[in-house]
Amino acid sequence: MADKPRSFQDIILRLQTYWASKGCAILQPYDMEVGAGTFHPATTLRALGSKPWAAAYVQPCRRPTDGRYGENPNRLQHYYQYQVLMKPSPPDMQDLYLGSLEAIGIDASAHDIRFVEDDWESPTLGAWGLGWEVWCDGMEVSQFTYFQQVGGHDCKPVSGELTYGLERLAIYILGVDHVMDMPFNDPQTPIPLTYGDIFKQTEQEYSRWNFDIADTEVLLQHFVDAEAECQRILDAPAQDPKTGRMIIMAHPAYDQCIKASHVFNLLDARGVISVTERQAYIGRVRALAKACADAFVQTEAGGAAA
């Protein structure tokens, strides 16, 4: 029997240790608001091109429409994902993944672990892949995807991506009923903190802001600005007149794409985007993501000859 983690952070630390031991670079969260760990350039951009890559990281995610003022046992507008990306996907990726479950206290011999079809598609990123949602005793504990396309480019080689929804997974492993009651640090410690101690208030504050207060006029402007800036960055000549070097600014441009995507999510939560407009907005973000992917594959990290 694997020994059980005792807190939320214990689970994160174990995942970090496990994936580090499997050769992943342990990265830090990306310093921007994103809707999913996939948006981190360490996944989106690094899945492109021929260069091998192995990285794992925690990514805070924001989904304004999922805000429930901290009341729902597992729905949050801000939560954490654990993300692993390996390129090329190793032949034993499923076994590596099952090893990670064991590391966080899920003993495969006592549970029912299943790989259930779930094709992944991100219309905003122009990306898709095939894989599964992984079930443990009927609960989805991870997404497992073999990326086929990102930003409209075929992935060659193919990356294997793992995404763990950390709160949901931890609630399950730690046996608590409500996310806010979950121990964040060790409950035996002099100052034990629950998830609620840290996030209950912010869930309320952001839920209110997301749903009712966020200035939609300003947000609409932010969207337009980010879109324009992204295009402006990509339109700049590849050769930097100051240094004389070829510097394609794929990452700064991609930051603007991330920004536009998040602003869209906020607008969506404010309910100001109609169904028809929705598709149009998603299309505009996708156009940015594609342009950034086009730029990235021309850079060294993107596999272009130096």
Partner 1 sequence: MPDLLIELFSEEIPARMQTRAADDLRKLVTDGLVEAGLTYAGAAAFSTPRRLTLSIDGLTAESKAVREERKGPKVGAPDQAIEGFLRGAGVAREDLEVRDDKKGQVYFAVIEKPGRMAADIIAEVLEKAVRNFPWPKSMRWGEGSLKWVRPLHSILCILTDEAGAAVVPLDVDGIKSGNTTQGHRFLAPDPFSVMNLDDYEAKLKRENVVLRADERAEAIWNEATTQAFALGLEVVEDKGLLAEVAGLVEWPVVLLGQIDDAFLGLPPEVLQTSMKEHQKFFSVRNPKTGRIERFVTVANMETSDNGATILAGNQKVLSARLADAKFFWENDLRVAKAGMQPWLDSLANVTFHNKLGSQKDRIERIAALARAIAPSVGADPDLAEQAARVAKADLSSEMVYEFPELQGLMGRYYAAEASLDAQVAAACEEHYSPLGPSDDVPTAPISVAVALADKIDTLTGFWAIDEKPTGSKDPFALRRAALGVIRLVLENGLASELKAVIEHAYDKLLEHYKSRFALTFKTTSGSHRQPHADTLAMKEPAASDPFWWIDLSILSQNFADDADAFDALTKRDMFDETKFARLFEKEPVVESLLSFFHDRLKVFLRDKGIRHDIIDACIAMPGNDDLTLLVKRAEALAETLATDDGENLLQGFKRANNILTQAEEKDGVEYSYGADVKFAEDDAEKALFAALDAADAKIAPAMAAEEFSTAMTAMAALRAPIDAFFTDVQVNADSEILRRNRLNLLSRIRNICLSVADLTKIEG
Residues that bind partner 1 (CB under 8 A): 72-74, 88-91, 94, 108-117, 119, 129-132, 136-139, 146, 148, 155-158, 160, 172, 274-276
Closest CB to partner 1 among residues 106, 295:
106
Closest CB to partner 1 among residues 17, 216:
216
Closest CB to partner 1 among residues 94, 231:
94
CA 37 – CA 225 distance, rounded (Å):
24
The pair of three-digit structure tokens given for residue 268, joined into one six-digit string: 């969506």
Closest CB to partner 1 among residues 119, 215:
119
- Minimum distance, C-beta of residue 65 to partner 1, in the bound complex (Å): 12
Closest CB to partner 1 among residues 115, 209:
115
- Minimum distance, C-beta of residue 141 to partner 1, in the bound complex (Å): 10
Closest CB to partner 1 among residues 29, 152:
152
CA 96 – CA 112 distance, rounded (Å):
17
- Minimum distance, C-beta of residue 229 to partner 1, in the bound complex (Å): 28
CA 16 – CA 6 distance, rounded (Å):
16
- Minimum distance, C-beta of residue 166 to partner 1, in the bound complex (Å): 16
CA 225 – CA 231 distance, rounded (Å):
10
- Minimum distance, C-beta of residue 135 to partner 1, in the bound complex (Å): 9
Closest CB to partner 1 among residues 92, 240:
92
- Minimum distance, C-beta of residue 248 to partner 1, in the bound complex (Å): 26
- Minimum distance, C-beta of residue 137 to partner 1, in the bound complex (Å): 3
Closest CB to partner 1 among residues 113, 193:
113
DSSP the chain: -PPPP-SHHHHHHHHHHHHHHTT-EEPPPPSS--SSGGGSHHHHTTTSSS--EEEEEEEEEE-GGG--TT-SSS--SEEEEEEEEEESPPTTHHHHHHHHHHHTT--TTTS-EEEEE--EEETTTTEEEEEEEEEETTEEEEEEEEEEEETTEE-SSPPEEEEEEHHHHHHHHHT-SSGGGSBSS-TTSSS--BHHHHHHHHHHHHHHIIIIIS-HHHHHHHHHHHHHHHHHHHHS-SB-TTT-SB---HHHHHHHHHHHHHHHHHHHHTT---HHHHHHHHHHHHHHHHHHHHHHTTSTTTT---
- Minimum distance, C-beta of residue 162 to partner 1, in the bound complex (Å): 14
